[in-house]
Amino acid sequence: DSGVTQTPKHLITATGQRVTLRCSPRSGDLSVYWYQQSLDQGLQFLIQYYNGEERAKGNILERFSAQQFPDLHSELNLSSLELGDSALYFCASSVGPLNTGELFFGEGSRLTVL
């Protein structure tokens, strides 16, 4: 158990809809990272937050947004969903703002868009 909690574990929705994925980092970790894992793209970095502030941005689509709340949990919002958004979305956390590479991953939220 990494200590990172993600909900929901599975989500099935239709094209055009909007979903929210939630992540609670390990106790004491201030940084949260979101990754997307799909068969064709592999593991793609989406975005990082540190202590409520956006720290780094990767290949995140404009239809996607994220935030980190004062209690340090984070949410990833995916809107106007397309079939290609079907993927496993991972949240990871680390202690500080500078990623030393040691990330603790949750078990992921599997999104299926029909």
Partner 1 sequence: AQSVTQLGSHVSVSEGALVLLRCNYSSSVPPYLFWYVQYPNQGLQLLLKYTTGATLVKGINGFEAEFKKSETSFHLTKPSAHMSDAAEYFCAVKTGTASKLTFGTGTRLQVTL
Q: Given candidates 23, 74, 76, 106, which one binds partner 1 under the rule CB under 8 A?
A: 106
Determine which helix (DSSP H) or strand (DSSP E) holds 36, and give its type and residue range. Answer: strand 31-38
14 binds partner 1 (CB under 8 A): no
Distance CA 22, CA 76 (A): 7
Between 22 and 45, name the residue whose CB sits nearer to partner 1: 45
22 binds partner 1 (CB under 8 A): no
33 binds partner 1 (CB under 8 A): yes
43 binds partner 1 (CB under 8 A): yes
Which residues, 6+ apart, have CB-to-CB distance to 111 below 8 Å?
11, 13, 19, 21, 78, 81, 85, 86, 87, 88, 89
Binding residues for partner 1, rule: CB under 8 A, are: 2, 4, 31, 33, 42-43, 45, 48, 55-56, 58, 90, 92, 97-103, 105-108
